[in-house]
Each structure stands twice: as C-alpha cells, then as structure tokens.
C-alpha cells in the first residue's frame, strides 16, 4: 500500500508539522508501507524536496519566513502525477491550509482517502467562534467570548469595552490559529496589555477572539476511533501553556491519566466526545479544557489534527491504553479507508 504522508505546509505551525511528519514516516516505513513524503509547500517538486526535511520544533515559523511560499503550491502538489497511485494520504498538517478543510477538499476532488476529519468538520473546528457556537447549542460549557474584526481595533474605547464585558482576566487569540500562536492572557485588566494582545492576534488573522479566562487546571482529552482516551493534565513549570512551554523540553509536565476524581474525569471525557461529535469529526482528535476550582470543565476547542509525534499528547494517551505509536498510525489509515468507502456508498 502506498501512503502519502503530507506534512510541513505553510502555516505558522510548519515546524511542528515537519516533526510530526517525520515520526509518522518512520513508523509507517517500519511497518512495511510504501511511504511517499510530501510537503505541499514545494508544489510539483515536493517529491525531491520533501525527503530530508528537518525542523527546530522549539520555534514557530514567523510570517516573514512563510511569505515566500504560495498557496498555489498545494494545488500543484496534490494534482501532480506522483499522486496517481497513492492509496491513502496521512495528514500531518496543522493550522491554516491543513486543518481547515482546504487540503481535505483537494484530496476529495482527487478521490484519495485521508486520515482525520472531513472538509466540513475540519472547517468548523478550525473556526474557534463557530465551534464554540456549536458547543453552546449542544449544551457544552465554554467560556464566554466575542469575535472582533481587524477594522474594530481602531475604536479607541474598545479596550475599555472588553474589560467591562469580560472583567480583568481575559484571553485574546486569533480565531483560526493553533499552538497558542498569537495568544495573550491578561490577568490584571491592564488596558495597554489588552491593546497589545489585540494587535498581536491581528498579525495572524482578520478575526480575533476575546474570551473570558477560566482560572484552574489545563486538561486535554484525545479521541480515537469514536472513544475518549484518558484525560491528560498539563502542568507548566511557570507561566501558561504557550508555544515555548509546548515545544521546549522540560518546561511542561504531563500527567496521564490526570489526577482528578473519577467522576470529573468521566464527565470531561463525555464532554470531549460530545464536542467532537457535535462538529462531526472522525478518525481522531483532541479536545482542550480548563477545569475550574469547582471541578467544572470548560471546553475551549477541538483540534482535528493535533500534534502527532510519538511524544505528542494523543499518542501519549493512546499508549496508556496499550496502543503504541506505529499501531496508532496503522489504525488511522484503516479508519480513513473505511470512512472513504462508506462515503462512496
């Protein structure tokens, strides 16, 4: 079986996606698959240029660094003759153009099965405001939020209005980015910090989410083949779970299973599945929560292509229930082909 591992890409999470792609390529090669590495940022030349990619996962790719790539390259890559005999695509693309339904659309048009969620679910999950609206309508508790456009940032009273609406503890982030890129947490209501947070988020998006901060613990739940994996608690050495804490060794501890009461763990898993299913996701994913001091989990978002090295959170949780990384990759391929065949009926 020929598997195209599609990784890298042109989002600010390019380095993370390169690291994940290399892990998947190694696992599938070890299982005997014919593996074709594909970084679609190289267009029709991907076959040669994707072979030996390395990355420094500790830094994200800034916008200047990514400006030399073209979105047209994705079309050229997937439309190339190299994909004629591909049986399935394994997606390890994060953020824009990878997790938002666009690469999925190209593969659908070529009739190639792919791992993870479909076009519509990927699009809804990548739009934080849309997904939170669906959470609320499904009875899933999520922190209060509002969505702003770049044009609203010129309003001199905006920062005061935000503080009045949300209080002093505020989260500001791009509406369509991952890996906490462009995220700010303000805990004292400082108006200058709110303004700086809005400006930072606006560098990465045209739509900015402002959300009420929930004090408490950081939890996440992996979903695999329709089942919730054990809850993981994320404990940072200092500060909050930003990009540096995610991808710098030693800055964060992961407790799996989380040391929380069984009823809270079960309820969090139930809410994770409800959120995942409300968006119509499939294959696998990860649902992030904040657990307040009363033991109430607040759902933040669903990641349809979460980090996927052998040390990432979903593989970590899967390992605790006896699923090693190569087996996890193989099962995702099997699910992708089964889902594709079901859609064709």
Mean pLDDT of 100-111: 96
Residues 150 and 26 in one domain: no
Domain end, chosen from 212, 243, 262, is at 212
Average pLDDT, the chain: 90
Can you tell me the distance from the alpha carbon of 104 to that of 89, in angstroms, rounded to the nearest whole number? Answer: 10
Cβ neighbours for 299, distance < 8 A, ≥ 6 positions apart:
135, 140, 141, 142, 271, 272, 275, 287, 288, 289
| pLDDT, tens digit (0-9, with 9 covering 90-100), for 123-150 | 999 999 999 999 999 999 999 999 999 9
State both tokens at 293.
Answer: 């001091």
Mean pLDDT of 306-315: 90
User: Do 29 and 35 form a contact (C-beta atoms < 8 A)?
Assistant: yes
| pLDDT, tens digit (0-9, with 9 covering 90-100), for 12-36 | 888 889 999 999 999 999 999 999 9
Quote the percentage of the chain above a pLDDT of 70.
90
CA torsion sign for 200, 205, 210, 214 is: negative
Can you tell me the distance from the alpha carbon of 202 to that of 179, in angstroms, rounded to the nearest whole number? Answer: 16
Can you tell me the distance from the alpha carbon of 203 to that of 210, in angstroms, rounded to the nearest whole number? Answer: 15
Residues 160 and 278 in one domain: no
Mean pLDDT of 40-59: 74
Cβ neighbours for 104, distance < 8 A, ≥ 6 positions apart:
91, 114, 116, 117, 118, 119, 122
284 DSSP β-pair partners: 224
In a domain, 277, yes or no: yes
Tell me the Cα Rg of the chain: 20
Residue among 284, 261, 289 nearest 332 (CA): 284
Residues 272 and 132 in one domain: yes
Question: Residue 276 above 70 pLDDT?
Answer: yes
Residues 133 and 282 in one domain: yes
- Give the pLDDT score at 238: 63
Residues 283 and 134 in one domain: yes
Domain end, chosen from 212, 234, 255, is at 212
Phi, psi (rounded to 5 degrees) for 243: -60, -45
- Give the pLDDT score at 142: 98
Q: pTM score, two decimals?
A: 0.91
In a domain, 313, yes or no: no
Residues 90 and 200 in one domain: no
pLDDT band at 329 (very low <50, low <70, confident <90, very high): very high
Residue among 320, 300, 318, 297 nearest 309 (CA): 318
In a domain, 57, yes or no: yes
Q: How many domains does the chain have?
A: 3
In a domain, 234, yes or no: yes
| pLDDT, tens digit (0-9, with 9 covering 90-100), for 54-89 | 665 555 566 666 767 788 999 999 999 999 999 999
- Give the pLDDT score at 251: 66
- Give the pLDDT score at 310: 79
HSE-CB for 278 with a 13 A CA cutoff: 22
In a domain, 328, yes or no: no
| pLDDT, tens digit (0-9, with 9 covering 90-100), for 222-272 | 999 999 999 999 998 766 555 454 555 556 899 999 999 999 999 999 999
Question: Residue 169 above 70 pLDDT?
Answer: yes
27, 177, 275, 345 from 60: Cα distances, Å: 24, 12, 28, 41
In a domain, 340, yes or no: no
Cβ neighbours for 5, distance < 8 A, ≥ 6 positions apart:
21, 24, 25, 28, 35, 36, 37, 38, 89, 90, 92
Domain that holds residue 240: 126-139+215-304
| pLDDT, tens digit (0-9, with 9 covering 90-100), for 280-298 | 999 999 999 999 999 999 9
């Amino acid at each position: 079986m020929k598997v195209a591992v599609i990784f890298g890409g042109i989002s600010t999470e390019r380095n993370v996606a390169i690291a994940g792609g290399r892990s998947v390529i190694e696992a599938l090669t070890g299982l005997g698959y014919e593996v074709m590495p594909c970084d679609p940022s190289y267009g029709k030349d991907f076959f040669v240029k994707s072979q030996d990619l390395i990355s420094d996962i500790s830094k994200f790719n800034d916008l200047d660094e990514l400006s030399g790539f073209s979105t047209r390259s994705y079309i050229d890559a997937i439309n190339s003759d190299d994909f004629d005999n591909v049986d399935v695509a394994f997606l390890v693309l994060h953020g824009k153009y990878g997790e938002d339904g666009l690469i999925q659309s190209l593969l659908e048009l070529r009739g190639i099965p792919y791992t993870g969620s479909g076009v519509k679910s990927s699009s809804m999950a990548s739009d934080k405001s849309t997904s939170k609206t669906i959470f609320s309508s499904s009875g899933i508790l999520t922190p209060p939020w509002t969505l702003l456009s770049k044009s609203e940032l010129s309003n001199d009273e905006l920062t005061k209005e935000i503080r009045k609406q949300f209080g002093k503890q505020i989260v500001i982030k791009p509406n369509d980015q991952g890996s906490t890129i462009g995220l700010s947490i303000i805990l004292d209501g400082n108006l200058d910090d709110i303004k700086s947070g809005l400006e930072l988020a606006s560098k990465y998006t045209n739509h900015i989410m402002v959300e009420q901060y929930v004090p408490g613990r950081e939890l996440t739940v992996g979903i695999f083949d329709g089942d919730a994996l054990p809850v993981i608690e994320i404990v940072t050495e200092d500060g909050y779970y930003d990009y540096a804490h995610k991808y710098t060794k030693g800055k964060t501890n992961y407790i799996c299973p989380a040391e929380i009461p069984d009823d809270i763990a079960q309820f969090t898993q139930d809410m994770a599945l409800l959120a995942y299913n409300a968006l119509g996701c499939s294959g696998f994913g990860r649902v992030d929560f904040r657990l307040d001091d009363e033991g109430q989990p607040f759902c933040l978002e669903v990641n349809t292509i979460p980090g996927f090295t052998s040390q990432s959170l979903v593989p970590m949780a899967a390992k605790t229930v006896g699923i090693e990384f190569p087996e996890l990759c193989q099962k995702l391929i099997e699910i992708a082909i089964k889902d594709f065949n079901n859609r064709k009926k």
